[in-house]
Structure 1
């Protein structure tokens, strides 16, 4: 049930949802890039909190270990929670994905406006860990949305036997997905707290 082949098969079964949430993430990046007014203020608040945490972790006795622990648990808990918050008809995973996309877009755009190197920011700051972390978050939100769609389908009054089978399969899929998403985020956290941290500090 928890085998990688099972996880990959489950991803194939929700490929349309994966495409949809990927588009939403890209739209979030675009919105963040062009954000103005109240939208910009919201993102600034998000970024301010991230900067405060980053400064505090940098001052710890073992910064790399502190970053790893924070990044891994923060991302893993949020990702798994987003899967099951899909029970609220999938709204929260969608909002979470859009906000994360907006933060990425705003971060890249504002850094460019400040004269920072786009190459350094993307290749050194985002790509090493982001190539794993971002797909893992997108996958989590896709499963969350799938759960929300099943909730809506259940409200439509499908046959009890069929609904029971679909819910059993859904929880099996989300359990498998949760395990592999945590594994992916574990690897991403190692890379972000070592490779990314070293590249950005250098």
Structure 2
């Protein structure tokens, strides 16, 4: 049940949902890129909180370890939560993905406006870990949206036997997905707390 091949097969059965959430994430990036006024202030406040945490972690006795622990647990808890909070009609995974896309778009655009190197930001700051982390988050939200769709499809209460089998299969997929998403985020956290950390501070 927990084999990687099972995880890949499950992803293959979620093709349309994965395309949808990827498009939603890209939309979030575009919104964040062009955000102005109150929306920009909200995103900037979020970024300010992230910067404060980063500064605090960098002052610890072992910054790389501190970054790893924070990044891994923060991302893993949120990702698994988005899978199962999809039970609330899939609304929270949608919002989570959109907001994260907006933060990325806003970060890149504001960094460009401040005269920072776009190459350094993307190639050094985002790409090393983001090539694993971002797809893992997108996949987690796809599972959550699938949960929400199943909830909506079950509201009629017809064909209880078939509905039960669908729920059993969905929870099996969710458990398998959670395990492999956490593993992917573990790898991404190692990269972000070592390679990305060194590149951005070197």
TM range (shorter): over 0.9
Q: Which residue of 2 aligns with 1:159?
A: 159
C-alpha displacement at 1:194, in angstroms? 0.1
C-alpha displacement at 1:189, in angstroms? 0.1
1:95 aligned counterpart, secondary structure: helix
The CA distance in 1 between the partners of 2:152 and 2:182, in whole Å, is 27
2:167 aligned counterpart, secondary structure: helix
Q: Which residue of 1 aligns with 2:140?
A: 140
Tell me if 1:120 matches 2:103: no
Stretches (4+) displaced over 6 A? none
Within-5 A mapping of 1:1-202: 1-202=1-202
Structure 1: state its 5+ residue gaps.
Answer: none
Over the aligned positions, Cα root-mean-square deviation in angstroms equals: 0.4
The CA distance in 2 between the partners of 1:113 and 1:141, in whole Å, is 31
TM, length-normalised to structure 2:
0.99
Aligned pair count reads 202
2:35 aligned counterpart, secondary structure: coil
Structure 2: state its 5+ residue gaps.
Answer: none
TM, length-normalised to structure 1:
0.99
The CA distance in 1 between the partners of 2:128 and 2:176, in whole Å, is 25
